[in-house]
Structure 1
Amino acid sequence: MEQTSQKVDMDHVRLSEDGRYVVILDQSKLPNLAEYLTLETAEDIYEAIFHLRVRGAPAIGICAGYGMYCLAQTIDTDSFDAFYQKLREYGEYLNSSRPTAVNLSWAINRMEQTAYKHKKLPVKEIVKLLGEECRKIHQEDIAMCKKISQYGLSLIKDGDGILTHCNAGPLATSRYGTALGPLILGKEQGMNFHVFADETRPLLQGARLTSYELDKAGIDVTLICDNMASMVMKNGWVQACFVGCDRVAANGDTANKIGTSGVAILAKYYNIPFYVLGPTSTIDMNCPTGEQIKIEERNPDEIKKMFYKQPMAPESVKCFNPAFDVTDHTLIAGIVTEKGICRAPYEESLAALFGEEKEDD
C-alpha cells in the first residue's frame, strides 16, 4: 500500500493513472494530513474499508467498484468459469469488510453481474467492460449527489440553522455529498446557513471530517459534542436536521452512524424536521424493516484508547461499540433521493421510486 501526500482538490476515490490500482484519500488522517493511498491488493482494499480509510456508503461503493475492476485485471486465465469464480471470491471477501453499508454489496453485485452478462465474450473484453462499469458507478454517483443536493435545498431557506451527525459530504460520496450537499450548493448560490456539527463519537467523523469540509466550503459551522444537540435545538437555533444513510429498509427505517437515532428523537420532541439524504442505491427493498439490518460492532479500543495519550477506562472494563443505529421511520420527515423526496408511508413512496425505474428501462 503506497502512501503519497497531495492537495485535496480531486476525487477522493479514483483509479490510478494506469487504471490498475485504487487511489483513496485516507480519511483516518484528516484533518491534519491529506494523504493518498494506492490500494494494490484485495487485502489493501479490505483494510482501507474496514479501518475507515474510505468511509461513507457511496464512497465505499465507488471504492468497491474500482477495486473489483483492478482485481479482475490480476486474474490470469482465459476461462470464463475460472475467472468468474475468482472474481466472486474477491467480491465475497471485500463484502465482509463492512456489513451495514448496502452500497458495498450493491457495487460488488453490479460488477459481478456485468461480468456474467457478457460471459460469452473473451475474458480480456469482460475486463474492459468492468472498467467501463466501475467508471459509470462513479459518474452516476456524482450526478446523483447533485440531484440530491437540489432536492434537499428546497427544504431549507437562507439563514436556517442545520444540525448534522457524522459525515455525508464530498469525502463520503462524490463532489457535493448527500447531507452536506444542499448546504454546499446553497452556498454556491449565495445562501448562508449556520451548521451545528455533532462531534460524532467515538470516531469523531463530525469533528474531523464534517467541520473540515464545511469550513473549507466557507460555511458557518459550529462543532458541538453529541450531548449538546438538545440544547441547541431547545434554544431555537436549529430549523432542520440533515443526515446521510448507510442502508434504508423498505419501510423507511434507516441505519446511519451511531447516535443518529438519538438526534431524530430529540428533533421529534422539539418539532424540528429530520431528513435523511442518500442515493437510491442505499435503499434495500429486500430488507423489510430496520430489525433485519445487521449492525457492525467495532473494537472497544475505539472508545477507550483512540485519540487519547493514555487509556480513558480500565483495561478490564467491557465496551459496547456498535458502529450504527437504526432510526425508526416514524421519526423521519422525508427521505431525499436523486429521484425526489419520499414521504410517509414509506412502503409506498420508496417502492414507487423503483416502480418508476422499471418503467424507464
Structure 2
Amino acid sequence: MLDFDRYDRVRPIRWLGDRLSLLDQRKLPFTVEYLDCADSDAVAQAIRDLVVRGAPAIGIAAAWGAVLAGQGVEAADGGTALARLAPALDRLNAARPTAVNLMWALARVRRALAGAGADWRLVLEREARTIEAEDLAANRRMGALGAGLIAPGAGVLTHCNTGSLATAGFGTALGVIRAGVASGRIARVFAGETRPWLQGARLTVWELQQDGIPATLIADAAASHLMRSGQVQWVVVGADRICANGDTANKIGTYQLAIAARHHGLKFMVVAPSSTVDMATTRGEDIEIELRDPDELLGYGGQRTVAAGVTAWNPVFDVTPAGLIDAIVTEKGVIERPDPARMRAVFGD
C-alpha cells in the first residue's frame, strides 16, 4: 500500500462556504498566497489569469464557481435555476477553450441542476464536492497504474506542472512520479522549465520539494541532450484533451518531447483522468488551440526583453499524435499504443 499522504501536501482549491479560495500560482514559489473569489465571474477571471491552472483544477474551480453563481439566484427548482444561471455558466465555460475538463465539469453541473427540486443549491454544492473528491481518488489510482509500467531504478522527465497544483491533489503525471518514488521504481526526476510561464521551474520543482522528492531542473532546450545521456527512460506528461484516436493536447513543448523520446528509444506516457478524454473530438487537428498574449514572450516580470517592433506567436498547447504515445493512463485503466479501437474499448463512443 502506497503512503499517499506522505507525498500529497499541497492543496490549490479551498471551498470556504461563501467563497472559493485559490492558491495564486502566479506568485509561487516565493509567495504562498490565496485569492478569495466571492462570485462566479471572479472565478472565471482567475481561470483566465492562471491563478488556477491545470485541466482538472480548472474544472473543479468552475464547478465551485457555479455554486457561487447559485448563491445569487432565486428559483423554486433546479430547472428554473439552470435557466437563470446560464449566462454565468457560459462565462465560466469560455474562460479557457482548450481544457476539456472545464466543459465536462460544467456539463455535470447542468445535468445535476436539471433534475433537482427545491433543494437545488444543496444538489449543486454536492456535485462540485463530488467532482473534487472523484478527481483526488482518480489521481491516486492513476499514480499506482502508471508507476507499475516503470522498471525500478528509472529516470523520468516531466513537462509543465501536473501535480497537486493542477488537480484536487496528488496529481496526474506528477502523481505517477510520486507513486514511482514511493514504490522505489523512480530513482531520478527531471523537470523542464516550461516556457513562457515557467510552470516547471516555478511550480513542479517547488511542489516536489514540499514532499522531499529531489528533482533536477533543466532548460527546455536541454531535453534531447538529457535523453541522449541515458539518465531518462520515460517522459511522463499530463493532458488537457485526449481525442477519440488518442491524439493528445498538452502544454506547448510536449510534441517535441515525444518526437525526441521516440528518436532516443524512450517511452512516452500521458496521464489524465477520464474527464480529459473527449470522444466527440475525432483527432488532434479538431482541437481549438488557445493563443495567449504575445507579450508573454516579449518580456518577463514586467520587463521587456525583446527589441521594440518584434512580433511573437504564442500558442499555449500543442498536439502529440497517438503514434508517439506508448501509454495513456486514466483511472479506468491503461491504454497502450492508443488508437481509435483501443480508445473505444475503454471509453465507448
What is the TM-score normalised by the length of structure 2?
A: 0.94
Superposed CA offset, 1:219-275 (max 9, x none): 221101110001000111110000000000100110000000010000010010111
Letter in 2 for 1:12: P
Letter in 2 for 1:262: Q
Letter in 1 for 2:317: F
Q: What secondary structure, in the 3-state scheme, does the structure 1 residue paired with 2:73 have?
A: coil
Q: How does 1:257-268 map to 2 (within 5 A)?
A: 257-268=251-262
Superposed CA offset, 1:285-318 (max 9, x none): 00000011000000111111223x6311123211
The yes-or-no answer on 1:70 pairing with 2:68 is yes
Superposed CA offset, 1:310-357 (max 9, x none): 3111232111001100011110001000011102342122212224xx
Q: What secondary structure, in the 3-state scheme, does the structure 2 residue paired with 1:129 have?
A: helix
Contact 2:173/2:271 (8 A) holds in 1: yes
The yes-or-no answer on 1:336 pairing with 2:329 is yes
Contact 1:57/1:102 (8 A) holds in 2: yes
In 2: Cα distance, 1:66 partner to 1:108 partner:
10
Q: How does 1:1-361 map to 2 (within 5 A)?
A: 9=9, 11-16=11-16, 19-78=17-76, 82-118=80-116, 121-122=117-118, 125-190=119-184, 192-307=186-301, 310-355=303-348
In 2: Cα distance, 1:284 partner to 1:79 partner:
31
Distance 1:181 1:32, change over 3 A: same
In 1: Cα distance, 2:108 partner to 2:23 partner:
24
Q: What secondary structure, in the 3-state scheme, does the structure 2 residue paired with 1:298 have?
A: coil
Letter in 2 for 1:319: A
Contact 1:148/1:182 (8 A) holds in 2: yes
Q: What secondary structure, in the 3-state scheme, does the structure 1 residue paired with 2:300 have?
A: coil
What is the TM-score normalised by the length of structure 1?
A: 0.91
Letter in 1 for 2:37: L
| Matched length | 342
In 2: Cα distance, 1:79 partner to 1:217 partner:
45
Q: What secondary structure, in the 3-state scheme, does the structure 1 residue paired with 2:310 have?
A: coil
Q: Which runs of 5+ in 1 are unaligned?
A: 1-7
In 2: Cα distance, 1:198 partner to 1:11 partner:
22
Instruction: Judge which range, 151-160 or 229-238, deviates more.
Output: 151-160
Percent sequence identity is: 44
In 2: Cα distance, 1:65 partner to 1:310 partner:
36
In 2: Cα distance, 1:310 partner to 1:35 partner:
23
2:3: which partner in 1? none
Contact 2:259/2:324 (8 A) holds in 1: yes
In 2: Cα distance, 1:9 partner to 1:220 partner:
15
In 2: Cα distance, 1:106 partner to 1:150 partner:
25
Contact 1:245/1:276 (8 A) holds in 2: yes
1:46 Cα shift?
Answer: 1.2
Contact 1:193/1:220 (8 A) holds in 2: no
Contact 1:176/1:185 (8 A) holds in 2: no
Letter in 2 for 1:100: T
Q: What secondary structure, in the 3-state scheme, does the structure 1 residue paired with 2:87 have?
A: helix
In 2: Cα distance, 1:353 partner to 1:14 partner:
32
TM-align CA RMSD:
1.7
Letter in 2 for 1:31: P
Contact 1:163/1:240 (8 A) holds in 2: yes
Letter in 2 for 1:56: G
In 2: Cα distance, 1:331 partner to 1:248 partner:
13
Misfit runs of 4+, over 4 Å: 79-82
1:10 Cα shift?
Answer: 5.6
Q: Which runs of 5+ in 2 are unaligned?
A: 1-7
Letter in 1 for 2:343: L
1:190 Cα shift?
Answer: 4.8
Contact 1:250/1:283 (8 A) holds in 2: yes
Letter in 2 for 1:26: D
In 2: Cα distance, 1:191 partner to 1:32 partner:
31
1:66 Cα shift?
Answer: 1.0
Instruction: Judge which range, 165-174 or 275-284, deviates more.
Output: 165-174
Q: What secondary structure, in the 3-state scheme, does the structure 1 residue paired with 2:14 have?
A: strand
Superposed CA offset, 1:165-220 (max 9, x none): 10101110122101011221233345552111000000000000111111222222
Instruction: Judge which range, 190-199 or 262-271, deviates more.
Output: 190-199
1:92 Cα shift?
Answer: 0.8
In 1: Cα distance, 2:338 partner to 2:30 partner:
44
Distance 1:10 1:167, change over 3 A: closer
